Structure 1
């Protein structure tokens, strides 16, 4: 094997963790290569996080314009939404992000190889090049960063109906007349509100008795009420057994709801019912890499597989499916490769998240359901969003609330949830206190700029009940 084909680190996939590991190693003078067959930079800048938030922003502009026209604050001008322009705005952003990634590769020293890579032996990667031909590389360290894809449930007729996933939905050039969303999770809720605001009729089908089933009941019910107020229809405890027609024309779903026959007809169908890892056709068996029952790469606390020097990161390793967790996966692997002390790991790490509905839902730490299930005693403090005075200036005081769980035995913060405008921006303040083990009084005693959303944290944590 030619020495020119040997690398310090090779990433199969250019997603968040893989690209950053290689960029970091390259900055240290190591020879690295990133192999990508489709989405440069991974799904986030191309088809997921940033593109969806771009479209959500456009939907919010449309919604607020209509709201203020109805109030007489704005003069009406034109009707309807030009989805081709919404799409073009999104495409322009994606184009800029791709150009940014290309520039980083040029300046970082990490080699970008376009093609499909898979393991063909111990730390050996074969690449079917995009422009034809093959290359074979070896590496001291291999990063599996192949991501995940939308799960298409095994329902009679569903695949034949050619349902949309988030990828195709973000490429529509027209507003669906009636969009049926199969799945009431986080992706489904974001798109339900956004496309309702763009003018579509929306029906959300959820097999459980509530949407966002991992959230506390007061959180999920409050958000459902908000979306219902905007015209989104919810069908819970609904099981779909048969799908007919074609998404984009006419599609019908049939099954049962609460045990009774149920059917619904729409123009478009979006599947938003979870993810499956992209671990097939990557040569993992040939390399002796173990998988879990869910076909994720089996990894330890530093994201190393059963083969030393072979790591898996992001969705394919079943890390929480967030780009910011992918970035932390990069830090975990780099910590191990760089022999840092103390060694970073995935054990007990914070997993904050934000749902980009309006209002936003932000959370970190324990929920009430999780605390009760684990038998952890806590003190609960909860304030309506109107107590966060900035919300009044944002015309958002009537929706949502914030709550925190504080240990019953000491003053440490166990969890925090906010349903309100810009709620995600409040997370880092609470996270820092939690990660440092600071008492809740460290927040209630802060001097925070008025009026900001974080100012409301002073009121929230000042209201924590005394220890019994």
Structure 2
């Protein structure tokens, strides 16, 4: 039986840097990966999808070029070439991450599947078929999450798509039905509409983007409708029928009406499930919630001392940057004897539709639920100079501020480069800069951030 100071299960955006840093700190370290180094983000998440989003935006910009006085004819979408470019970027990122691990002294990479056989013991079935037992003082679970497959009548009889398998398409779907009207579904829906697919989005709730404020949700809906994307809310799938290859019929109930939707492809985007079912957590006595998320305290430690969970597998905000921050917290606490927790960290995120939705802090709904004394600042992008000049006038900026302290509580930026504008406000929030100071701050002209002057002028003191 081999003993390590630390073992990381999974090579995502928390696992890779943590393994390297622990090894460099003198700890005998192993990282176990069942398939590809890099986790969801590099292989089937952020990196490939944003590469393809860039291609979809190029199509959209080419079709709108006439509005800027540029005439472009015969626009063709080559999905095989788009996929090839995406695959090349993924391979570059993945190989770079793997080389970084391989070149780290004191770090062993093991390709295989791990399961707990005791609280601090793992049984690993390596990719070469050899099984071995490993023990460690510290074990870090970084196994991520996968697409949640809903229980729909007829779904298992058809070749449905997930956010992973849709990335391998080489032909543009004739009619893509997206099940789920949140971040993943909306990004793929807009992407394939721009590639040339007819797209229908089905959402069981009253509106898409149910976690966002209603005005933001409505604005996104209008933008999508402007691109001829059909959105059906309060809609449930009753049955899926396969007629022949690339011909499906969906019986749905939309509100009080029964409808039939014919389509060629169906994408399931109804959420993510933690990958914990094969870990043998019950053998180690590691507690999970009803969904299978590993339960952790504010320092990311499970109920078993010395066993930690990082990234999507623990539930909570499922973002790459949160997983990376998880790594920095546990590393500094264990090696540098700091006392960091996850309790008060900011949770920014960006949905890469076009325009982007950048979010930080409290929404208006959340401020209202907390009973805070708040004010709202809003400005449409059609009033932003930079947006008008670049022909990017869709969307809006919205900020929530504390009426008493004048501190910024949160922001929703639905705009071209919305994530970058949001990050400016996040820095202000981190630094305690109040909205009245931003109102008169000198920004370079003409930039998107300069419009924060006008945004906060909407608030009457």
What TM-score do the two structures reach when normalised by structure 2? 0.96
SS of the residue corresponding to residue 170 of structure 1 reads: helix
- Match for 1:306 among 295, 303, 306? 303
Question: 2:410 is matched with which residue?
Answer: 415
| Pair 248,381 (structure 1): closer, same or farther in 2 beyond 3 Å | farther
How far apart, CA to CA, are the structure 1 residues paired with 2:137 and 2:386?
53
1:458 paired residue number? 453
Change (3 A) 1:316 1:75: closer
Runs of 4 or more, structure 1, over 3 Å off, are 69-72
Q: For the Cα contact (< 8 Å) 1:184–1:205, is it kept in 2? A: yes
The answer as to 2:239 corresponding to 1:239 is no
CA contact (8 A) 1:160 1:246 kept: no
Closer, same or farther: CA 197–248 of 1 in aligned 2, 3 Å: farther
Retained in 2: the 8 A contact 1:313–1:319?
no
* Pick aligned residue for 1:200 from 184, 197, 200: 197
1:348 lines up with 2:344 in the alignment: yes
Partner of 2:34: 37
Distance 1:453 1:111 in 2: 46
SS in 2 for 1:80: coil
| Residue aligned with 2:82, SS | helix
Q: Matches of 1:73 and 1:439 in 2, distance apart?
A: 42
Match of 2:280 in 1: 283
CA distance in 1, matches of 2:423, 2:5: 35
Q: For 1:58-137, what aligned pairs fall within 5 Å after superposition?
A: 58-68=55-65, 73-77=70-74, 79-109=75-105, 110-137=107-134
Mapped to 1, the partners of 2:200 and 2:34 lie a distance apart of 35
Is the aligned partner of 1:211 residue 2:211? no
Q: What is the rounded CA distance, in whole Å, between the counterparts of 1:142 and 1:130 in structure 2? A: 21
Gaps of 5+ in 1: none
Q: 1:137/1:423 Cα in 2 relative to 1: closer, same or farther (>3 Å)?
A: same
- 1:72 to partner: Cα distance: 5.9
Contact 1:21 1:330 in 2 (8 A): yes
In structure 2, do the counterparts of structure 1 residues 441 and 246 end up closer, same or farther at CA, with 3 Å as the change threshold? farther
Q: Contact 1:150–1:165 at 8 Å: present in 2 too?
A: yes
CA contact (8 A) 1:433 1:442 kept: no
CA apart distance, 1:282: 0.7
What do residues 384-416 of structure 1 show as CA deviations (whole Å, max 9, x unaligned)?
21343222232112x111011110111111111
- Correspondences of 1:56-455 after superposition (within 5 Å): 56-68=53-65, 73-77=70-74, 79-109=75-105, 110-245=107-242, 249-341=246-338, 343-397=339-393, 399-455=394-450
Query: What is the root-mean-square deviation of aligned Cα atoms in Å?
Result: 1.6
Shift of 1:246: 7.2
Q: State how far apart, in whole Å, the 1-side matches of 2:23 and 2:439 are.
A: 44
The 5 Å alignment of 1:8-19 reads 8-19=5-16
CA contact (8 A) 2:63 2:72 kept: no
Q: Higher mean Cα deviation, 116-125 or 224-233?
A: 116-125
Q: Return the offset for 1:271.
A: 0.3
Deviations 1:42-61, CA, capped at 9 Å, x for gaps: 01010011100111111111
Secondary structure of 1:7 counterpart: strand
Shift of 1:235: 0.8
- Report the Cα distance in structure 2 between the residues aligned to 1:55 and 1:39, rounded to whole angstroms: 20
1:55 equivalent to 2:52? Answer yes
Runs of 5+ consecutive residues of structure 2 not aligned to the other structure: none
Deviation at 1:273, TM superposition (A): 0.4
**1: distance between equivalents of 2:19 and 2:243?**
43
